[in-house]
């Protein structure tokens, strides 16, 4: 075949995929699962709007690469979710799509075999099947909305989403967030810029019209209503930004913009200086702020796995250590359980003071 010298000159190949509707038919969600997703999105919205005084905890591996380990982690987390439900609302990070600073493995959907074969359709199938298994345990799940097409395949099973530090400034992601069915947190920029997240929050609260796909896989103009459950996530940048001084600065900006004074602190990434072992230090500081009367902090994020640290992603799956992250380093299960037990105790004492009127 003659190579077209005008169009697609940098495209090597294309593969037509099954539609979102076909994937959903292959891996259908039961009414019980869908009801629990609806209920958990409502709880999270209530926390963001200060109608529920509990602390939202988005906790789990930096990325999913192994179904067995993900399910074992989910079972353990579900036990703590039930045990601490009076004080914490625990949601598992089930991150299938990874943004990269330059290049690297882009996640379970993009390359599920981790060998550069980019078997996206298998990634979506495995992803949806795993989400259903975790949802059936009754554990709500969180993701990063990175690819603008994949939500049609997977988003109905997520209760919370993040727009990441590398995409908060992107119009595509703001439009996407404006139409997502769950609450969305916007990270500050990788350089620490708060205005990036604040602008995103405001942009996504508005309705937009943009090109996307529908559930039948057809290209469509999507008209959205705007997402009323946006909030900022402080994740640090050139320096950490979780201290009371940084929180006060963010509160002042939210106040000036007339938006709901709700923010989450990511204890990892720039806030831990990318040293996973610092996450409990950040969490301690945040919990102390809450104990001292802070009202705007509605949640924390933790990168946690069964075993600590991380390992290279370019090994054969059989050579990989079980339950160890292949992207950012994570705290292990023991540290996670200790941290959540402490958070539970501190939030139980703080909750009576957090019973403030709806915003």
Ligand X SMILES: C=C(OP(=O)(O)O)C(=O)O
Tokens of 322: 């079980």
Rounded CA-CA distance 43/184 in Å is 13
Across the strands, what pairs with 222? Answer: 210
Out of ligand X, ligand E4P, none, which partner does residue 165 contact, by CB within 5 to 8 A per kind? ligand X
Out of ligand E4P, ligand X, none, which partner does residue 75 contact, by CB within 5 to 8 A per kind? none
Rounded CA-CA distance 92/40 in Å is 12
If the CB atoms of residues 125 and 269 are measured against ligand X, the closer one turns out to be: 269
If the CB atoms of residues 99 and 309 are measured against ligand X, the closer one turns out to be: 99
Q: Does 187 bind ligand X (CB under 6 A)?
A: yes
Rounded CA-CA distance 350/327 in Å is 34
Tokens of 237: 């940048």
Interface region with ligand X, contact rule CB under 6 A, candidates 120-128, 164-172, 177-185, 317-325? 164-172
Q: Does 104 bind ligand E4P (CB under 6 A)?
A: yes
Q: Could you say which DSSP state residue 228 is in? A: T
Greatest alpha-carbon pair distance for the chain in Å reads 72
From residue 167, how far is each of 175, 211, 299 by CA, in Å?
Answer: 12, 18, 21
Site string for ligand X, 44-63 (x = CB under 6 A): ------------------x-
Q: Where are the beta strands (DSSP E) in 278-332?
A: 297-303
Exactly one of 101, 292, 352, 358 binds ligand E4P (CB under 6 A); that residue is 101
If the CB atoms of residues 229 and 328 are measured against ligand X, the closer one turns out to be: 328
Q: Could you say which DSSP state residue 141 is in? A: E
Q: Does 305 bind ligand E4P (CB under 6 A)?
A: no
Interface region with ligand X, contact rule CB under 6 A, candidates 74-82, 161-169, 175-183, 272-280? 161-169
Q: Could you say which DSSP state residue 111 is in? A: -
Out of ligand X, ligand E4P, none, which partner does residue 100 contact, by CB within 5 to 8 A per kind? ligand E4P
Rounded CA-CA distance 217/39 in Å is 28
Interface region with ligand E4P, contact rule CB under 6 A, candidates 42-50, 77-85, 98-106, 150-158? 98-106
Q: Does 327 bind ligand E4P (CB under 6 A)?
A: yes
Closest CB to ligand E4P: residue number: 101
Q: Does 97 bind ligand E4P (CB under 6 A)?
A: no
Rounded CA-CA distance 293/51 in Å is 16
If the CB atoms of residues 7 and 101 are measured against ligand E4P, the closer one turns out to be: 101
If the CB atoms of residues 166 and 342 are measured against ligand E4P, the closer one turns out to be: 166
Q: Does 106 bind ligand X (CB under 6 A)?
A: no
Q: Does 144 bind ligand X (CB under 6 A)?
A: yes
Q: Does 309 bind ligand X (CB under 6 A)?
A: no
CB 177 within 8 A of CB 201: no
Q: Packing angle between helix 120-136 and helix 31-48, nearest 10 degrees?
A: 80
Q: Does 65 bind ligand X (CB under 6 A)?
A: no
Out of ligand X, ligand E4P, none, which partner does residue 101 contact, by CB within 5 to 8 A per kind? ligand E4P
Q: Does 141 bind ligand E4P (CB under 6 A)?
A: no
Contacts 24+ apart (CB under 8 A), 313-319: 313/65, 313/104, 313/105, 313/114, 314/105, 314/114, 317/66, 317/113, 317/114
Across the strands, what pairs with 309? Answer: 330
Tokens of 147: 């690819």
The binding site for ligand E4P (CB under 6 A) comprises 62, 98-101, 104, 269, 327-328
The binding site for ligand X (CB under 6 A) comprises 62, 95, 99, 144, 164-166, 187, 235, 266, 269
């Amino acid at each position: 075949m003659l190579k077209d010298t005008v169009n697609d000159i940098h495209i090597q190949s294309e593969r037509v995929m099954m539609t979102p509707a076909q994937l959903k038919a292959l891996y259908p969600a039961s009414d019980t699962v869908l009801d629990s997703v609806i209920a958990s999105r409502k709880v999270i919205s209530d926390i963001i709007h200060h109608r529920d005084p509990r602390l939202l905890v988005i906790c789990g591996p930096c990325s999913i690469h192994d179904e067995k380990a993900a399910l074992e982690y989910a079972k353990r987390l579900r036990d703590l979710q039930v045990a601490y439900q009076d004080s914490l609302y625990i949601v598992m990070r089930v991150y299938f799509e990874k943004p990269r600073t330059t290049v690297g493995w882009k996640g379970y959907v993009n390359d599920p075999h981790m060998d550069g074969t980019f078997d996206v359709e298998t990634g979506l199938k495995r992803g949806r099947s795993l989400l259903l298994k975790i949802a059936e345990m009754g554990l709500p799940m969180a993701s990063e909305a990175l690819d603008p097409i994949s939500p049609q395949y997977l988003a109905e099973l997520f209760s919370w989403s993040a727009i990441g530090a590398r995409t908060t400034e992107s119009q595509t992601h703001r439009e996407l967030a404006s139409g997502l069915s769950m609450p969305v947190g916007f990270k500050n920029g990788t350089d620490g810029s708060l205005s990036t997240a604040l602008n995103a929050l405001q942009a996504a609260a508005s309705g937009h019209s943009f090109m996307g796909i529908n559930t039948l896989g057809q290209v469509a103009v999507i008209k959205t209503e705007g997402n009323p459950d946006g909030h900022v996530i402080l994740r640090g940048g050139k320096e950490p930004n979780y201290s009371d001084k940084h929180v006060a600065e963010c509160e002042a900006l939210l106040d000036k913009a007339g938006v709901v004074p709700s923010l989450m602190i990511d204890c990892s990434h720039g806030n831990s200086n990318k040293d996973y072992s610092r996450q409990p230090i950040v969490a301690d500081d945040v919990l102390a702020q809450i104990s001292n009367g802070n009202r705007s902090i509605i949640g924390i994020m933790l990168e946690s796995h069964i075993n600590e640290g991380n390992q290279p992603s370019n090994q054969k799956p059989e050579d990989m250590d079980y339950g160890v992250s292949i992207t950012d380093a994570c705290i292990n299960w023991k540290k996670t359980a200790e941290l959540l037990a402490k958070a539970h105790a501190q939030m139980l004492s703080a909750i009576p003071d957090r019973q403030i009127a709806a915003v």
